[in-house]
Amino acid sequence: MAASRKLSALRLPPLPTIREIIKLFKLQAVKQLSQNFLLDLRLTDKIVRKAGNLTNAYVYEVGPGPGGITRSILNANVAELLVVEKDSRFIPGLQMLSDAAPGKLKIVHGDVLTFKVEKSFPKSLKRSWEDDPPNVHIIGNLPFSVSTPLIIKWLENISNQNGPFTYGRTQMTLTFQKEVAERLVATTGSKQRSRLSVMAQYLCTVNHSFTIPGQAFVPKPQVDVGVVHFMPLIEPKIEQPFKLVEKVVQNAFQFRRKYCHRGLGMLFPEAQRLESTEKLLQLADIDPTLRPTQLSLLHFRSLCDIYRKMCDEDPQLFGYNFRDELKQRKDKIEEKEESNGLQMPL
């Protein structure tokens, strides 16, 4: 009984509802920023529960907006909540929450894509990568416009064990457009299998926790929203530098409806493309007529390992980008056409 009284005493005092906050500060979702407000506190509580036990945890919330998930996090008995919000219109409402939870909520007016959270929490929270995850969590209802670049940025941080993962294997609970959520968890051979599937799953255990119907948001988006939980793996499924893995995976899915040799061939300059692609697939022991969606994490591990050896043999190979070669060819054709035009007789 004493413990339950202690927890109840930490709950926020009566506050205006999120809907009232929106009216009070005349907040409107900005379509260009793909903002959608989640007003149902039962749903924000559910998102926070999917993050796990947050008692005495340090939480980094991205894109808090009017503060729906923020309230649910504070009610979970956290040690400290840090929110980073780019839109200055939301700061007064968040400040109201901060005043209601003295010493618990820190507000930063900034951009999550550039904010350095690794300097924000006590160093004592740090755990070695092989240990249990630290008591640090990332939670957020991400605007659709930043969700993909942000998760790619954080996956690179996981690979390098820096940024928010300086503290160890920090867990993430994030919202995505349902289609993106399905891609993140898509298995080998499924239609949703994509670059995101491979990049997320070679570094994390990824779970699509539940789906929130679009009508729960204001304004209502044209799609439903998926809540996804990420737990970084102790050992990545592919042990190569992130940029190398990203390059191989991006090229593999370049032509997702064609055989995999078509996209993987774009890793190599045109003059050696056929020979090098054949060598890559042969040494990686991969059927060139598999579709990109049929390639497993083991396939990609082999591809990345062999491609790394080929780059070591030819140091200029990793810097090759087929788009640069196409542009150079186009520029030469245009120069030739201009030259021929100047030489035409009057």
Q: Give the pLDDT confidence of 265-279 residue by residue, as tens digits.
A: 999 999 999 999 999
From the list 173, 244, 243, 167, the residue with the least C-alpha distance to 204 is: 173
Distance CA 176, CA 181 (A): 6
Q: What is the mean pLDDT of the chain?
A: 90
Q: Are 216 and 129 members of one domain? A: yes
Domain boundary among 232, 264, 281: 232
Q: Tell me the per-residue pLDDT of 287-335, one tens digit each, with 9 for 90 and over.
A: 999 999 999 999 999 999 999 999 999 999 999 999 998 888 776 776 7
Burial (CB < 10 A; 0-12, 13-18, 19+), residue 271, is exposed
Residue 217, beta-bridge partner list: 38
343 belongs to a structural domain:
no
Q: What pLDDT does 4 receive?
A: 41
The gap between the terminal CA atoms of the chain, to the nearest Å, is 100
Range of the domain at 46: 18-232
pLDDT band of 15, cuts 50, 70, 90: confident
Spatial CB neighbours of 103, under 8 Å, sequence gap ≥ 6: none
Q: Are 221 and 291 members of one domain? A: no
Q: Tell me the per-residue pLDDT of 105-120, one tens digit each, with 9 for 90 and over.
A: 999 999 999 999 998 9
- Kind of pairing between the strands at 217-218 and 37-38: antiparallel
Annotated binding site: which residue ranges? 36, 38, 63, 85, 111, 141
Average pLDDT over residues 28-57: 83
Tokens encoding 194: 């994509």
8 belongs to a structural domain:
no
User: For residue 67, is it left (φ>0), alpha (ψ between -120 and 50) or beta?
Assistant: left
Annotated binding site for S-adenosyl-L-methionine: which residue ranges? 36, 38, 63, 85, 111, 141
Tokens encoding 157: 């941080």
